[in-house]
Amino acid sequence: MTAAVSLQNVHKVYNNIPVVNDLSFTIQAGEMFGLLGPNGAGKSTTIRMLTTLTKPSGGRIEVAGFDVVRQSLQAKQSIGVVLQQISVDGDLSVWENMEMHGRLHHIPKQYRQQKINQWLEYVDLAERRDDLVKTLSGGMKRRLQIARALLHQPKILFLDEPTVGLDPQTRRRIWEIILDLNKQGMTMLLTTHYMDEVDYLCNRIGIMDNGKLISLGTLQELRSAHGQGLVMKQVGDRLEYLFFPNLEQANAYLDQQVDKTGMMVRPSNLEDIFVELTGRQLD
Ligand code: ADP
């Protein structure tokens, strides 16, 4: 079976500085893949290459079986993109934004109008169809971006920090939409800084740092690899983390300590692993 997304030894260099460095991984159809990494790790650049917005300096990228450089048109037709910065036009109405995207994709009029109605309903924006986009809230604009990205029936959806800057309730609504689309069979790659977002949404996670993939697997696989039990230890004014294969071994370590002041055992989580790997917090 063809992978939905495949990167082989991908490099990207800006002004002689490597920002993506020998990146290789694949995403199978139907997966919900989370790409994590501290600021500057190269996540957005990776998404920009995957979505044909910038060309790789080396290596090979395929989406839906199409090479993003040699078959960029077919690749573009197979994907939907929701970028971090709000890319809808504030001076056009909700409907006009959808209409423009539909025309750019040469979707025939009758079918286009039916699909615009369907997706605006889906993201709860049908009643705002004639309003100028600049009058919408941040969450509504994000939902419009998602509806627009779905209009041409893509197989794969790329979301760059889909809930950044949104209030908790609005984030929940976006999560529900993302989960539901994935249940319907849509393959997704999303970048995020939020651990709860990864927990809630992603089947598999890739962690990037300095342009490289430094860890790849399910949350359970990452926890098994790095240690499922954690001892937190207060050393001066900072916390030290000690990983153990499981909670029993973490507890056994604690039991052996004569002075247990400032020490605590708990299961490890993605944030602990992220900090251990990158030396930085998630956000
Ligand atoms: P992330 O999304 O993980 O925060 P980015 O992909 O945005 O990381 O950036 C990775 C690195 O590439 C950063 O050091 C950034 O400054 C640099 N970079 C990104 N885009 C450009 C560009 N168009 N020109 C030059 N450098 C860039």
Distance 45 CA to ligand 1 centre (A): 6
Distance (Å, whole) CA 274 – CA 283: 11
Distance 181 CA to ligand 1 centre (A): 29
Percent over 90 (pLDDT), the chain: 81
Token duo for residue 85: 């910065």
Instruction: Give the CB-side neighbour count of residue 204, counting CA atoms within 13 A.
Output: 16
Pocket mutation for ligand 1, best pick of 14, 35, 46, 48 (most atoms within 8 Å of C-beta): 14
The CATH code that applies to domain 5-221 is: 3.40.50.300
Pocket mutation for ligand 1, best pick of 16, 44, 281 (most atoms within 8 Å of C-beta): 44
Q: Whose CA is nearest to atom 25 of ligand 1?
A: 14
What is the DSSP code (8-state) at residue 127? G
Percent over 70 (pLDDT), the chain: 98
pTM for this structure? 0.90
Alpha carbon distances (Å) from 258 to 95, 232, 263: 68, 16, 11
Nearest to 250 by CA among 267, 229, 232, 276: 229
Nearest to 222 by CA among 205, 208, 209, 241: 205
Each residue of 129-147: b (16+ CB within 10 Å) or e? beeebeebeebbbbbbbbb
Q: What is the DSSP string of 21-44?
A: EEEEEEE-TT-EEEEE--TTSSHH
pLDDT beyond 70 at 207: yes
Which whole number is the average pLDDT over 142-168? 92
pLDDT beyond 60 at 127: yes
**Location of each CATH 3.40.50.300 domain in the chain:** 5-221
111 lines ligand 1 (CB under 6 A): no
